[in-house]
Amino acid sequence: MTCHKCGNQLFVNDQFCSRCGERVKSNISDNQSQSTVINDEQPKRSKSAILALILSALVVGLGQLYAGQGLKGIVLFGVWILASIVTVGMATFVIWVINLIDAYRIAKKVDQGKHVDEWEFF
Ligand SMILES: [Zn+2]
């Protein structure tokens, strides 16, 4: 880092130039803009929570599959079918609603860049 007025070599913590007395510009704002650029370059794992909700409304587990929980989505679908048969349709709606909330919340977490385990619910 050098003085922008006289070119004198400066220390990082200097507030004024030791040769000409010029006030040293803080480079905090420069660092901030640099980190913003780096963040923009990172690939976004954007998942639409609304799309996950719609997918899971159509087929149980499909929204979870879309959010990256492939195995959980398939098992959820299997459980939904089995439970529907066993309870003669009584569990069908309940599991469908739980599946909707789950798909929406998991996709939202993924969209926010949070780590989501394969078997994480809600
Ligand atoms: Zn200077």
Cα Rg for the chain, rounded, in angstroms? 27
Q: Do 68 and 30 belong to one domain?
A: no
Q: Do 94 and 63 belong to one domain?
A: yes
Q: Do 53 and 32 belong to one domain?
A: no
Distance CA 36, CA 71 (A): 36
> Into how many domains does the chain fold?
2
Q: Do 85 and 70 belong to one domain?
A: yes
Q: Do 106 and 57 belong to one domain?
A: yes
Domain assignment present for residue 29? The answer is yes
Domain assignment present for residue 70? The answer is yes
- State which residues form the domain around 23: 1-42
Evaluated on CA atoms 84, 89, 95, 99, the torsion sign reads: positive
Q: Do 105 and 54 belong to one domain?
A: yes
Measured CA distances, 25 to 6, 36, 37, 73, 112 (Å): 13, 20, 21, 55, 35
Centre of ligand 1 to C-alpha 82, Å, is: 78
Centre of ligand 1 to C-alpha 33, Å, is: 25
Domain assignment present for residue 120? The answer is no
Domain assignment present for residue 118? The answer is no
What does the pLDDT profile of the chain (122 residues) look like in tens digits? 888 899 999 888 888 898 999 888 765 545 554 555 555 545 556 899 999 999 999 999 999 999 999 999 999 999 999 999 999 999 999 999 999 999 999 999 999 999 999 999 99
- What residues have a C-beta under 5 A from ligand 1, the ion? 3, 5-6, 8, 17, 19-20, 22
Angle at the Cα of 24 from the Cα atoms of 20 and 26, rounded to 5 degrees:
175
Give me the pLDDT at residue 39, please.
52
Give me the pLDDT at residue 27, please.
53
Centre of ligand 1 to C-alpha 14, Å, is: 11
